[in-house]
Amino acid sequence: MIRLRKACDRGHAEHGWLHSHHSFSFADYYDPAHMGHSVLRVINDDTVEPGMGFGTHGHRDMEIISFVLENELEHKDSMGNGSIIRQGEVQRMSAGTGITHSEFNPGRTESTHFLQIWIIPDRQGHTPGYEQKAFPDSELRNRLCCVASPDGRDGSLSLHQDACMYLGRLHHGDVVFTLAAGRCGYVHLARGKMSLNGQSMTGGDGAYIDAPDELKVTNIENAEVLLFDLPLKPVQ
């Protein structure tokens, strides 16, 4: 069964320097019908104004993925990492036993658009960790490329959870993905237009996949899509 989550129905937070849309309950936005899906807990669609950002703050026991859609995001953390995450790059930070970090838009004139994704880890108390990688268009074009997985398969980032994140940039034709027995999924369309098993989606839309299924993703207009392959279990 596929349940669409339309972009206009998401939570919204407006802070002047930050424009954020929440696919699932987050901060001041609470909806008991949208608390996450399986171990996928957060998808925040964030736009940060030039020179602004999230000051130093803490996390623990969460796998946090950032995917930059436009421009750049500057990252610094208590592990000593300092980097610029550029358009098209994916970062994974395992908060584990505890970490502090900051995220800023280093640009002077252009806003930064990125997705922040939280996945609940398989247990508490992991050692904090960090990875960042660029996935070239040649790996993403008209296919779903695994960009995060529990074993770092095929050059993907590694996660402390039995979950995989796929990313694709579609320009023509169909992509078929099969969720295996004992799995469920979630699809987030970052931008563009597409259909999922015949149901139309536009940028910001999501879709719950509640049970194993064959998914047919059909590009309509430059679809940039994320697909999460998740264990069939409730949010912890």
The 10s digit of each residue's pLDDT in 153-194 is 999 999 999 999 999 999 988 999 999 999 999 999 999 999
Determine contact, residues 81/106, Cβ cutoff 8 Å. Answer: no
Tokens of 49: 């104004």
> How confident is the model at residue 173, as a pLDDT?
86
The pLDDT value recorded for residue 210 is: 94
Q: Across all residues in the chain, what is the average pLDDT?
A: 95
* Pairing, β 99-104 against β 53-59: antiparallel
Domain ranges of the chain: 2-231
pLDDT confidence of residue 234: 55
The pair of three-digit structure tokens given for residue 192, joined into one six-digit string: 């563009």
Neighbours of 122 (CB within 10 A): 16
CATH topology of domain 2-231: Jelly Rolls (2.60.120)
Tokens standing for residue 213: 């299924």
